[in-house]
Amino acid sequence: MTGPLEPVTAVLVIPALAAALLVALPGYRLTAALNVLATLLTFVAAVSLFFGRPRPTSYLLVDDLNNVFIVLTTFVGFTTSVFSASYIGHELEIGRLTPRFLRFYHAMYQLLMFAMNLALVANNIGVMWVAIELATLTTVLMVGIYRTHEALEAAWKYFILGSVGIALALFGTILVYMAARPVVGEGLDAMVWTVLITRASAFDPALLNVAFVFLLLGYGTKVGLAPLHAWLPDAHAEGPTPISAVLSGLLLNVALYALLRFKMLLALNPAALAPGPLMVTMGLISLVFAAFMLYRRRDIKRMFAYSSIEHMGIITFAFGMGGPLANFAGLLHMTMHSLTKSAIFFAVGHIAQVKGTQRIADMGGLTETNPVLGWGLVLGVVAIAGLPPLGIFMSEFLVVTSTFARAPSLAIILVCGILIGVAALFLRLNTIAFGEPRGATAKAEASYLPMFAHLALVFVAGIYMPPALVVWFQNVAKLLG
């Protein structure tokens, strides 16, 4: 039933094949085009999952929940590959990258896609763990691709912290298996998601608790929750911008997805501790912490990396609160954040290329010198700051209002955090986009299409959401409980 033409397997097979191919092929134009093509095909396959969903096997599963993630991942992966084509071209010209590394880069890109898709469609918690580890390793390699001291060091930091995270996550996974074994019986079934979810109520609560603690810390490291976030800013700042976009836009989501799965597991077991409060706490900590960290940033990419931490905090908070409204808001916020943040990184990438630096101090008056880039960035920041009529406002509206009625104090902390973050972002935006032009003013040869495509989607979502999508999201929200 899982032939290579089956969409589920296609989502995995296409990137894998592309990776193999791209390692072999020389030539920048060709490989870039192939890269785009592969991601496009993957996206199409993912979309087709709407229509024909395969019955879950012991390894693969497609349900409402991960379908959201898959479509989002493949879409952003596609647009990012388009952006990366023009971006990497420029990198080649200025000689920051050599063709050899470029080949490697494209292969790794596809491998990352494969790993993330695998992690999403995996019906087996072990496979999921392996996939996430794979994704981490590929990104580690790509972060270090510039071979500068800073890049290598960032990659190294990412690698070490990531490995510890992986180890903790594995321990959690093992514990889940042990909790499941007495109920489900030995062997594969005790790791198959669809089986676990049906029997969760009978599991040993104490084991589940310990398991969740380890999973929260293990995958939380990938999500970038404070205080486990340390790798994130440097990895974003030092890697190639497309990778920063993918990291912020996708990898964090994938890790969060894993976390959500296990949260559902715990939620089904009445005797186990409620996962909500833990996630709420970590979410708030990340939000407030990141908001303050934004102020002293001098590197534009690192700043937006911290903003990603902030938003991951909000999303985790929303899912932690639970309930139909908050869960819906969390999903919406995650989608919007992926689109917006990657759009911002597209803009930032070109800006950094125009200015020849990532130091905020060396940028200024972009709306004068490069109006399209400048206004694109302004729009992006307005969106990420949660100002209407863009999509993030809706999710923040739902989060705050639904929370304030239930836990006022939390809502007030949340609001303060958001406000502090907004203040910091605009403080920097003012110097980057407005005022007297500063720094080099080259013409950017860039493809603005991906950026504006994302922003347009965010804009539309903020005003009008197609009912089908809404119903779908609401189902997922119910699923998450």
Partner 1 sequence: MRGLTFDIAHLLAGTLVLVSFLELYQDRLYALLNMFALHALVLALSVAWQAYVQNAPHLYVTAAIALIFKAIIIPVALHHIIKRLGIHREIEKVVGVGSAMLLGMGLVALSMVVMLRVTAEADPLAREDLAFALSVVLLGLLMMVTRRNAVSQIVGFMSLENGLVLAATGAKGMPLVVEISIAFSILIAFIVIGIFLFRIRERFDTVDLQALDRFRGDRG
Partner 2 sequence: MVLLALGSVAVLLATAALGAMLAEAVRARLIVYGICLFASVALLAIALLALLDVSPRPSVTTLPLGIPWLGAHFRLDALSAFFLAVINLGAAAASLFALGYGRHEHSPRRVLPFYPAFLAGMSIVVLADDAFTFLVAWEFMSLSSWALVMAHHRVVDNVRAGYVYLIMASFGTLALLLTFGLLAGPDGSYTFGEIRGGHPSATLAASILILALIGAGSKAGLVPVHVWLPLAHPAAPSHVSALMSGVMTKVAVYGFVRIVFDLIGTPAWWWSMVVLALGGITAAMGVLYALMQHDLKRLLAYHTVENIGIIFIGLGLALAFKAYGMAWAAALALTAGLLHVFNHSVFKSLLFFGAGSVLTATGERDMEHLGGLIHRMPQTAFVFLVGCAAISALPPLNGFVSEWLTFQAILLSPQLPSWGLKLLVPAVGALLALSAALAAACFVKAFGVTFLGRARTPAAERACETDRFSLAAMFFLAALCLVAGILPGVFIDALAPVAEGLVGERMPVQGSVDWLSIVPIAESRSSYNGLLVFIFMVLSGALAAWAIHRLASDKLRRAPPWDCGYPDTSPATQYTASSFAQPIRRVFGSVVFRAREYVEMPPPGDGRPARFTVQLHDLVWDALYAPIAGGIGFAADRLNHLQFLTIRQFLSLVFAALVLLLLVLAIWP
Positions of E strands within 51-138: none
- Cα 233 from Cα 46, distance rounded (Å): 30
**Site size for partner 1 (CB under 8 A):** 43
| Interaction pattern, residues 63-102, with partner 2; x per rule: CB under 8 A | ----------------------------------------
388 lines the binding site for partner 2 (CB under 8 A): yes
Q: Exactly one of 152, 372, 407, 479 binds partner 1 (CB under 8 A); which one?
A: 152
Cα radius of gyration (the chain): 21
Specify the DSSP element, H or E, that contains 39. Answer: helix 28-48
Q: What is the largest CA-CA distance in the chain?
A: 69
DSSP string, 238-303: HS-HHHHHHIIIIIHHHHHHHHHHHHHHHHT-TTSPPHHHHHHHHHHHHHHHHHHHGGG--BHHHH
Q: Exactly one of 153, 227, 478, 481 binds partner 1 (CB under 8 A); which one?
A: 153
CA 131, 134, 140, 142 torsion-angle sign: negative
Q: Looking only at residues 193 through 212 of this chain, which bind partner 1 when binding is defined by CB under 8 A? A: 204-207, 210
Q: Exactly one of 116, 245, 293, 318 binds partner 2 (CB under 8 A); which one?
A: 293
Q: Shortest Cβ distance from residue 353 to partner 1 (Å)? A: 20
| Interaction pattern, residues 384-413, with partner 1; x per rule: CB under 8 A | ------------------------------
Of residues 15 and 162, the one with the C-beta less far from partner 1:
162
Instruction: Decide if 127 contacts 59 (C-beta within 8 A).
Output: yes
Q: Helix or strand or coil: residue 322? A: coil
Positions of E strands within 348-410: none
Instruction: Decide if 181 contacts 125 (C-beta within 8 A).
Output: no
**Site size for partner 2 (CB under 8 A):** 68
Q: Exactly one of 36, 79, 109, 157 binds partner 1 (CB under 8 A); which one?
A: 157
310 lines the binding site for partner 1 (CB under 8 A): no
Of residues 10 and 127, the one with the C-beta less far from partner 1:
127
Q: Exactly one of 36, 97, 145, 190 binds partner 1 (CB under 8 A); which one?
A: 190
209 lines the binding site for partner 2 (CB under 8 A): yes
- Cα 13 from Cα 217, distance rounded (Å): 31
Q: Looking only at residues 426 through 455 of this chain, which bind partner 2 when binding is defined by CB under 8 A? A: 426-427, 430, 434-436
- Cα 80 from Cα 344, distance rounded (Å): 12
Of residues 233 and 283, the one with the C-beta less far from partner 2:
233
Using CA atoms, how far residue 110 sits from 116, 127, 134, 210, 479, in Å, is 10, 18, 12, 35, 31
The footprint of partner 2 (CB under 8 A) covers 156-157, 160-161, 164-165, 168, 206, 209-210, 213-214, 216-217, 221, 227-228, 230, 233, 273, 278, 289, 292-293, 295-296, 325, 365, 367-368, 382, 385, 387-389, 393-394, 396-398, 400-406, 411-412, 415, 418-420, 422-423, 426-427, 430, 434-436, 462-465, 467, 470, 474
